[in-house]
Amino acid sequence: MDTDTIPVTGVEELEKHLDELVADPNLDLNAKLFDHVELQLTDANIPPLIPKLLPKLTEILKKYPQDPKILCSLAIKLLAPLNFTQILSLASEEALILALQSPAPSANILAMTVLEKAAKSPGDAAILAMMNSMIKSFIIQWLSAPQVEVGEKGSKILGDLLDIDCDTRPPDGLSVNGMEIVVRKPPGQGLLWRRIFNDRDIYDLILSLCTNHPLGTQQQSLAQGRLLRVLPRLAALNFRAVTWSDFADLNQKYTDSTNNRGILHFAALFMVDKEDMLMHLNLIDFFEALLSIQRITPFSTHKIDTLKNIVRDATAQDNVLKAAILTLPERTVPEEADELRQFIQEILNSE
């Protein structure tokens, strides 16, 4: 007998238990029952269970006062075969925003798992780009969650979403040190890029959370680290988007310079307190990743001139950073070392 056709045992009991929790979210969870059902789930037997279980789970999660880890685990398993738009027909934008805003990391991961689905197609990414409140809540939680796993998932999802949505991607993809940075695929619509980098409120939100985080200096450092890690990938996808801003007044506010420079300049030159040793190391890692990837992106005079200016300003009073950049070719794979050395010499104008 095909194991996928064997009925999932315990579903009726679980449905009854979920009804009880909908009526009274303060009841104790029957963790064994949840585990018993979840362990039996497969791609083949999940679909008929989705309409039975997922709406009830969503309802409970809106008002469940305890750690919702067990509820979220089952919900994530049930969502596996669904695409982004299918999930939106079952769980409202409001419910997803509540999960993003939850203090429980399991709820954040659940909501981010849904957003991750939008990175599967340019059309779904474009739909997400229209959800201003959702994007805002995602950015806040990505830069405000103290848990490493939430920050890492947020960074990956943001990169994947902007990757699928990118309308300027290098047509043949990009690989550095044997690792694929930009996958070869058709261009997207660019709507999510415009939502994040051309929407004044969201752009301001990112800069403010990395400059004066309401949760304090420790969370501010985490936010800065997360932005630094995602920017080299974004710069490979759309260099102009991260080096140009329509908001000269926000640059005045956060960098004390009135110009149209973008978020790359902010992160590279103004954001980090170099007296903070850990953040200085993060900044060095950022420059090493940025230059390694930019060596293989399509040539443009604008790119070279911009990188020259950023590196010149960043290394002017920072010999440790300059030494790290100069010795970077020694720490890369041998077959790429010579070209990287030439590229760095060009950027640094060194002989």
Cβ–Cβ < 8 Å for 329, 320: no
Cα angle, residue 206 at apex, residues 63 and 227 outer, rounded to 5°: 100
Which pLDDT value is given to residue 138?
98
Mean pLDDT over residues 48-55, rounded? 94
Work out the pLDDT band at 1, boundaries 50, 70, 90.
very low
Residue 4 predicted with pLDDT over 70: no
**What percentage of the chain has pLDDT greater than the value 90?**
86
Which pLDDT value is given to residue 276?
96
Cβ–Cβ < 8 Å for 146, 190: no
**250, 216, 248, 237: which is closest to 294 by C-alpha?**
237
Cβ–Cβ < 8 Å for 340, 300: no
Residue 105 predicted with pLDDT over 80: yes
Mean pLDDT over residues 236-247, rounded? 95
Residue 250 predicted with pLDDT over 50: yes
Which pLDDT value is given to residue 170?
61
Residue 50 predicted with pLDDT over 70: yes
**223 DSSP 8-state letter:** H
Work out the pLDDT band at 178, boundaries 50, 70, 90.
low
Domain spans, the chain: 118-227, 265-351
Cβ–Cβ < 8 Å for 287, 268: yes
CA 184, CA 169: separation in Å to the nearest integer? 8
Work out the pLDDT band at 187, boundaries 50, 70, 90.
confident
CA 187, CA 190: separation in Å to the nearest integer? 8
CA 155, CA 160: separation in Å to the nearest integer? 9
**Burial class for 214, CB neighbours closer than 10 Å (0-12, 13-18, 19+):** exposed
**292 DSSP 8-state letter:** H
What is the per-residue pLDDT across 253-300, written as a single tens digit (0 to 9) for each? 999 888 899 999 999 999 999 999 999 999 999 999 999 999 998 889
CA 283, CA 290: separation in Å to the nearest integer? 10
248-280 CB burial, b ≥16 within 10 A, e <16: eebbeebbeeeeebbbbbbbbbbbbeeeeeebb
Cβ–Cβ < 8 Å for 165, 126: yes
CA 209, CA 224: separation in Å to the nearest integer? 8
What is the per-residue pLDDT across 331-350, written as a single tens digit (0 to 9) for each? 998 988 999 999 999 999 85
Which pLDDT value is given to residue 172?
61
Residue 219 predicted with pLDDT over 90: yes
Which pLDDT value is given to residue 66?
93
pTM for the complete prediction? 0.92
Residue 2 predicted with pLDDT over 50: no
Residue 3 predicted with pLDDT over 80: no
User: 79: which residues sit within 8 A by CB, 6+ positions away?
Assistant: 54, 87, 113, 114, 117
Residue 84 predicted with pLDDT over 70: yes
Cβ–Cβ < 8 Å for 237, 168: yes
**301, 299, 130, 163: which is closest to 241 by C-alpha?**
163
What is the per-residue pLDDT across 65-80, written as a single tens digit (0 to 9) for each? 999 999 999 999 999 9
What is the per-residue pLDDT across 290-333, written as a single tens digit (0 to 9) for each? 999 999 988 899 999 999 999 999 999 999 999 999 999 999 98
CA 151, CA 108: separation in Å to the nearest integer? 10
Stronger pLDDT, 44 or 4, i.e. the higher one = 44
What is the enclosing helix (H) or strand (E) of 181? strand 179-182
CA 76, CA 72: separation in Å to the nearest integer? 6
pLDDT averaged over every residue in the chain: 93
Which pLDDT value is given to residue 243?
97
Residue 351 predicted with pLDDT over 70: no
